[in-house]
Chain A
Amino acid sequence: MAKVRGAVVIDKEKCKGCGLCVDACKFQVLQLSQNVNLKGYTPAFMANAENCTGCTNCATICPDAVITVYRVKENN
């Protein structure tokens, strides 16, 4: 069965660390970083990358449009 794998790329310097994407993700892929970016925000990052399905929920809720989503079908 084909399995869907996804990945997100977050523009670390533009992310304001609001955390809405963390709440919107159903698979707990995203978390807020402990490190700050140049503006002093704690950007989101992919903590559990293997769970991502590329559903685009995080990018849909992101107010600053910093998330790019990728998706592929993986054949086992």
Chain B
Amino acid sequence: MELEDIIKDENIVFKKTKLLNDKPLSYCPGCGHGTVHRILMETIEELGIDEETIGIAPVGCAVMAYEFMEIDMQEAAHGRAPALATGIKRVYPNKYVFTYQGDGDLAAIGTAETMHCCNRGENILIIFINNGIYGMTGGQMAPTTLEGAKTSTSPYGRDVSTMGYPIRITELIAQLPAVRYVTRQSVHTPAAVRKAKAAIRKAFEYQSEGKQGTCFIEFLSNCNSGWKMTPAQANKWMEENTFKYYVPGDIKDNFKLLKNPIIE
């Protein structure tokens, strides 16, 4: 069988979702942001809720997210995406609302907004991309940077005596009683991507039930430019180092805290 016989429209098993437009993504080669964009849009397309979904773009690497996603989007001030999402969800309670935030946006400047939004149990989905560095501004140390990691503002490695410990914001949020679903996923292998997609789907299904309760999904992502590695090396490094501190898996489901090695 020749390639021409295989490459026919009726044989397609995977193609780019129509909710991502043809503009080339502005991310570095191999960046996890692109993968998360894709699985998010695929899930929305599969659920058929593209007309009823409103996304909030952050400030950071994903600041141009509204350029690529063919759904209604709104740009928030730095860190204020949960506040904006609260407003939108209260005006349009039947719409699906999600925020898409990085670690500088959610875990640094926007910590207060995020915490209080989750504490009020707004019925939204918060997507948190954790790559442990400020990627867009040139690889500075973020609150989530691992201990000992070298960045442009911690050239000798992060010293916890002066710079504090990396913040596990996802575990903190899981403690709040109004939060319904908290999970930590990654997008470094095809298997992980499929699991991550299932988590997004679950969060949107929870949101459709209309009950109060915030859903929070953390995605561990590489930042190969910031970490000064190739994409494949960065994914391997993440598996060996990041996963020890930020353990992937479900942390809270349906208001119930699950067994978690860090909490215990």
A12-71: which residues lie under 8 A (CB-CB) from chain B?
14, 16-20, 23-24, 41, 49, 54, 56-57, 59-71
Residue of A nearest to B8 (CB): A70
* B190 in contact with A65 (CB, 8 Å): no
Q: What is the CA–CA distance of A56 and B193 in the complex, to the nearest angstrom?
A: 12
* A19 in contact with B13 (CB, 8 Å): no
B residues near A24, Cβ cutoff 8 Å: 189-190
Task: Count residues of chain A with CB under 8 A from any CB of chain B.
Answer: 32
B residues near A18, Cβ cutoff 8 Å: 29-30, 224, 231
B200-250: which residues lie under 8 A (CB-CB) from chain A?
224, 230-232, 235
B residues near A17, Cβ cutoff 8 Å: 29
* A69 in contact with B7 (CB, 8 Å): no
Q: What is the CA–CA distance of A76 and B13 in the complex, to the nearest angstrom?
A: 22
Contact with A along B1-20 (1 / 0, CB 8 A): 10101111001111111001
Q: Taking the nearest CB of chain A, how far is it from the CB of B26, in angstroms?
A: 11
Instruction: In the complex, identify which listed stretch (B32-40, B93-101, B128-136) lies at the interface while the others stay far away.
Output: B32-40
Q: Cβ of B259 < 8 Å from any Cβ of A?
A: no
Given the known inter-chain contacts A17-B29, A20-B232, A72-B5, please indicate yes or no for A61 contacting B189, CB distance below 8 A.
yes
A residues near B33, Cβ cutoff 8 Å: 63
Q: What is the CA–CA distance of A66 and B30 in the complex, to the nearest angstrom?
A: 12
A residues near B230, Cβ cutoff 8 Å: 19
Q: Cβ of B48 < 8 Å from any Cβ of A?
A: no
Q: Does more than half of chain A's interface fall in helix, strand or loop, or is it mixed?
A: mixed
Residue of B nearest to A16 (CB): B29
How many residue pairs link A and B with beta carbons under 8 A? The number is 91
Residue of A nearest to B27 (CB): A63
Q: Cβ of B24 < 8 Å from any Cβ of A?
A: yes
Given the known inter-chain contacts A61-B35, A61-B189, please indicate yes or no for A20 contacting B235, CB distance below 8 A.
yes
Q: What is the CA–CA distance of A9 and B9 in the complex, to the nearest angstrom?
A: 12
Q: Taking the nearest CB of chain B, how far is it from the CB of A30, in angstroms?
A: 13
Q: Cβ of B31 < 8 Å from any Cβ of A?
A: yes
Q: What is the CA–CA distance of A7 and B8 in the complex, to the nearest angstrom?
A: 10
Q: Taking the nearest CB of chain A, how far is it from the CB of B197, in angstroms?
A: 9
Residue of B nearest to A11 (CB): B16
A-B contact pairs, 14 of them (CB 8 A): A5-B6, A6-B6, A24-B190, A56-B13, A57-B190, A63-B31, A63-B34, A63-B35, A64-B24, A65-B34, A68-B12, A68-B16, A70-B6, A70-B7
Given A14-B24, A70-B7, 9 more A-B residue pairs with CB atoms under 8 Å apart are A7-B6, A9-B7, A18-B29, A20-B232, A60-B14, A63-B31, A63-B35, A68-B15, A72-B5
| 9 closest cross-chain pairs (CB), A and B | A63-B34, A18-B30, A16-B29, A18-B29, A69-B14, A7-B6, A60-B190, A70-B11, A57-B190
